[in-house]
Amino acid sequence: MICALCKEKEATKKNTHYLSDGVIRKCLNIGGTNERERGYYFDISNGNPFVEFNFQRIDEVNLEKGLGRPPTDEELENARKIPFSVDYVFCNTCEKSFTEFESKFSSDIIPKLRNVNLNQINHLNFEEVSLIRMFFYIQIWRNAICEEIFSLSPKVEEELRLIILNKQVKNINHFPLMITYLETLGGDMSFTENYVGSTSDRNPNVIFMNDFVVQFFDDIDYVKYNKFYGLNDEVDFKEFVNFEEEVFKVKVLSNIKRKELLSNIINTEKVKQTLSFLEKSFDLIWQRMFYGFPPIQIKQEYIHGIIGDDDFTVLKYSQKQIAEYTEKFIWDRIRR
């Protein structure tokens, strides 16, 4: 295999993290397997209120449960090392170049966000425009190369490849880029509440990297407000889109807002799974009674009777309530 960045040298490097380990490590913790878990994918453009996602969210507690004893340092290390990494995609020289920017980001930028008092702060300005852009371009581009469902337009992907390969510092701020820092209070364990994963959608291309959330647009014309579960706010959305900027603005989401965002995402997923479960169960019951699938309209009526116009209502009911409602619904059909 030829290296995906330089397209010259042999890709000999093993275990390249395509989302920087220094950022995501605190969040990840996987049951010590060699299998990389699937990343998560959001789909926000097609009007589907439900998000497709499978973020990794394995914390130390779960690892301990899996092992039946506290993990050793080495197991923890291994557990954290494997996800979001690839073998034989990049060469050693290009890997070194990635590391150069990642180390600089770790030493110059991260300390200004992690473990500092961000109370009442809704954004921070950074002079290090090209460092921040380069660091996130590396994440975005590598993610596009390594993650099946995350993609960029071929033109943008190639442009980013050349910027990274040439370590270009000037004229690289023409891609609209939003970075949100999620204030994560409460020690290391709190970081495991965060997510790592990306969306299958475009414009924005969204990557969750623990306490950093990236939103990347191909072009200024594609920039459009999307609430994204509370990640963005319509009032100041535009303010946080960095584009041809002199200083780079990083939006800061308070610890409380961070928790809201994560819980919105989780609840939406729960709603989606619950509704899908209900539909499947209804099909099954109907089939048993009437030897065929329920007409779509009847199925819609059934679901509507539970949720009305608010999908989230589905989380309010107990299993027993749903069973009773279902029985009554079908009984009413029979009597008609």
Site residues, Zn ion (CB under 5 A): 3, 5-6, 9, 91, 94
Closer of 164 and 172 to Zn ion (Cβ):
164
Give the up-direction half-sphere exposure of residue 81: CA atoms within 13 A in the CB hemisphere.
12
Q: Are 175 and 163 in contact (CB under 8 A)?
A: no
From the list 305, 277, 274, 269, the residue with the least C-alpha distance to 49 is 269
| Closest approach of Zn ion to the CB of residue 259, in Å | 41
What is the crossing angle of helices 92-108 and 154-165, to 10°?
Answer: 80
Measured CA to CA, the distance from residue 179 to residue 200 in angstroms comes to: 18
Residue of 237, 269, 38 whose CA lies nearest to 150 = 38
- The residue among 6 and 285 lying less far from Zn ion, judged by its C-beta, is 6
Query: Closest Cα to residue 168, out of 189, 193, 137?
Result: 137
Choose between 20 and 180: whose C-beta lies nearer to Zn ion: 20
Q: How far apart are CA 316 and CA 321, in angstroms?
A: 10
Cα dist. 192→131, 151, 196, 235 in Å?
26, 26, 10, 30
Quick one: tokens of 183?
Answer: 């204030």
- In the bound state with Zn ion, the residue whose beta carbon lies nearer, of 6 and 275, is 6
Q: Residue 14 CB, nearest distance to Zn ion (Å)?
A: 14
Q: Smallest gap, in angstroms, from Cβ of residue 93 to Zn ion?
A: 5
As measured in angstroms, the least distance from the Cβ of 25 to Zn ion is 24
CB of 140 to Zn ion, least distance (A): 18
- Using Cβ positions, the residue closest to Zn ion within the complex turns out to be 3
Residue closer to Zn ion by CB (options 89, 182) is: 89
Residue with smaller CB distance to Zn ion, 18 or 191: 18
